[in-house]
Amino acid sequence: MAKKQQNANLTLAKANKKDEFYTQLTDIERELRHYRHHFKDKVVLCNCDDPFVSNFFKYFGLNFDKLGLKKLITTCYKSKRMDIFSQHDSEQAIYLEYTGDKNGNSIPDPEEIGIKHFKGDGDFRSQECIELLKEVDIVVTNPPFSLFREYVAQLVEYDKKFVIVGHQNAITYKEIFKLIKENKLWLGFGFTGGAGHFINTQYEDYATAGNHKEGMIRVSGVHWFTNLDINKRHEDILLYKTYSPEDYPTYDNYEAIEISKTKDIPINYRGIMGVPITFLDKYNPEQFEILGLAASAGYNEEIVGIPFLGKKDARPLIMGKNTYARIFIQHKKI
């Protein structure tokens, strides 16, 4: 394997286990400018955070009036300190509440921020954190990747709107994919080039020299996940190819055609099409219906969504050869 690919894989494998890196203000700003209108009169929660050093707190604190927020709550995990990233050295944690600027300098000053104490460690699953969650309208954060399934399940259970960072691998988790298929969760605008540089307090960075940034860890495949409506979700993918059996092979084990690049989706094919996971970045539910996902060897009818015509391996096969994971879709407008 080429060294570059080896490094990328290593970064990914390690990133999936690591929960302690912090989002840059520029990445938060770049994403959230598309959601501004959603925040008027809303209570925002940034949990799984390190309030005062967090850029989520900074973003919402500094833009509190511009967004017309009602209240900002940010919670810490295993920490009572406001001035450093959590060292996980406390079985108790704090949270902050901010209701806007009072002294006219447009900055959240320490005396304007209410510091409250949890009885416990600020785990997002604890009852006291759930009570806070119930109070809020929108949750915005970068939660621990290792608990992503649980984290999203909780947001859905309490019917919350959210904009959160996650890894694109999560798309293939059956719980997450089900939400995507049901149009209860979708991808936001994302990170430049599909990779993010995060503030790094403890890990080795495996990025190549050209991609390395001092004090940062580069994580490829990160994305924003949301259930807030955004413009891009209503934009059709512009297509220009037409179907011909020579250009679009059919899978051995599914009655669907293989499309290896989203831009090559034929404009006029009425049947089922297998497209790469990256299709979701451009998905408009008015243009296409998502039927299922074939990503692993075991066939799960609920996830794959279309009949399996093979024997064992449920990954899409073409002339006996595996393709990558594929999402099955169908045109809605033809």
Ligand X SMILES: C[S@@+](CC[C@H](N)C(=O)[O-])C[C@H]1O[C@@H](n2cnc3c(N)ncnc32)[C@H](O)[C@@H]1O
- Which residues of the chain form contacts with ligand X (CB under 6 A)? 19-23, 48-50, 54-56, 77, 86, 122-124, 141-144, 147
CB of 132 to ligand X, least distance (A): 12
Task: Please state whether beta strands 321-322 and 195-200 pair in parallel, antiparallel, or not at all (unpaired).
Answer: unpaired
Q: Which is nearer to ligand X, 39 or 77 (CB)?
A: 77
Query: 271 in helix, strand or coil?
Result: coil
Q: Which is nearer to ligand X, 51 or 305 (CB)?
A: 51
Query: CB atoms < 10 A from the CB of 170, how many?
Result: 21
CB of 126 to ligand X, least distance (A): 8
Q: Which is nearer to ligand X, 141 or 253 (CB)?
A: 141
CB of 30 to ligand X, least distance (A): 14
Three-state SS string over 55-91 comes to: HHHHHHHHCHHHHCCCEEEEEECCCCCCCCCCCCCCC
Q: Which is nearer to ligand X, 202 or 260 (CB)?
A: 202
Residue type, 197: H
Cα separation, 2 vs 123, whole angstroms: 40
Residue pair 297/262 in contact by the 8 Å Cβ criterion: no
Q: Which helix (H) or strand (E) holds 96?
A: strand 94-98
Q: Which is nearer to ligand X, 43 or 147 (CB)?
A: 147
Residue pair 262/228 in contact by the 8 Å Cβ criterion: no
